[in-house]
């Protein structure tokens, strides 16, 4: 520096050249060497995106964990767990299954009047038979539901979409009828809805299994949903599709070509599960036909 008597001037430092981007960077607590500033920015963006993904996934897991807690706010659900949780846990333990890792699959047979429940731990690849319940009363006959008020129980490939802890029939589990196949093959008009597996022993188009047994099934469904099983599959058949009952139905309805064609399509889904004990991914084509894939 030098002075002219009034002002002080700073000499330019010839070594004071523009700074070259550092060959190393410190990003979110981690040192990165031999990278440019642009690469540091990209790494920062990737770090933030990863953190957001982890946060979202964590939020989903938290929501799943809260499902049971939310259900337990209802008196009938609390009573069901109080009365039946031990029974359900013993049932699961006998099959080497765990309530905290459980997934279930439900099959319903209209002729035999049975609700069949299969289970597996989340890490397992195949389902095993868990238990079954009697359908205590029913309406309609074999064949799919095609309109409001026909009294029919649907047939096809559905999932549980509603948990009703304050049902008129104690507790109930609603299925997603009508599905895409029903809407296509139903030919328009009012197809009806509100099909439930429920308690009590009265029904028009639903599946009642008594108050006592719906408590067990409801607990199994709550545990599975709480473990992240968003869509518990429910497959409904006119009968078991591999024996004399089905052969008898084919003879009885031999002139009902559309019904037989529908049943043959439904049997494909039956066969898929029977061959590997794995629930297929189900879709519906433009004609209303079910398609099955791993």
Active-site residue numbers?
A: 198, 206
- Hey, is 169 helix, strand or coil? coil
Residues 6+ apart with CB under 8 A from 100: 223, 227
Alpha carbon dihedral 164, 165, 168, 170, in 10-degree steps, equals 120
Rounded to whole angstroms, how far apart are CA atoms 120 and 129? 9
- Which stretches of the chain are assigned E, i.e. beta strand? 2-3, 8-9, 24-27, 30-33, 102-109, 114-121, 128-134, 156-167, 170-175, 196-198, 207-208, 232-237, 281-284, 290-293
Residue appearing with tokens 């309530």: 99
């Amino acid at each position: 520096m030098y002075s002219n008597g009034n002002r002080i001037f700073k000499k330019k430092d010839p070594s004071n050249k523009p700074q070259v981007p550092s060959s190393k960077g410190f990003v979110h607590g981690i040192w990165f060497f031999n990278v440019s500033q642009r690469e540091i920015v990209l790494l920062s963006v990737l770090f933030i995106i990863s953190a957001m993904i982890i946060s979202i996934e964590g939020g989903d897991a938290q929501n799943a964990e809260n499902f049971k807690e939310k259900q337990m706010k209802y008196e009938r659900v609390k009573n069901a767990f109080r009365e039946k949780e031990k029974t359900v846990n013993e049932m699961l333990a006998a099959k080497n299954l765990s309530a905290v890792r459980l997934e279930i699959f439900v099959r319903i047979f209209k002729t035999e009047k049975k609700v069949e429940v299969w289970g597996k731990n989340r890490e397992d690849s195949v389902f095993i038979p868990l238990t079954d319940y009697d359908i205590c009363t029913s309406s309609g006959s074999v064949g799919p539901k095609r309109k409001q008020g026909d009294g029919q129980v649907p047939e096809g490939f559905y999932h549980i979409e509603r948990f009703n802890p304050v049902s008129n029939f104690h507790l109930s589990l609603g299925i997603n009828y009508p599905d895409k196949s029903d809407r296509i093959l139903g030919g328009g008009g009012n197809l009806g809805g509100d099909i439930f597996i429920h308690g009590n022993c009265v029904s028009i188009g639903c599946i009642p299994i008594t108050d006592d047994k719906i408590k067990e099934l409801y607990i199994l469904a709550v545990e599975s949903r709480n473990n992240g099983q968003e869509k518990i599959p429910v497959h409904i058949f006119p009968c078991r599709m591999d024996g004399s009952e089905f052969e008898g139905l084919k003879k009885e309805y031999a002139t009902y070509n559309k019904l037989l064609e529908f049943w043959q399509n439904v049997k494909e889904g039956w066969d898929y599960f029977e061959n590997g004990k794995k629930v297929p991914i189900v879709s519906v084509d433009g004609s209303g036909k079910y398609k099955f894939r791993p």
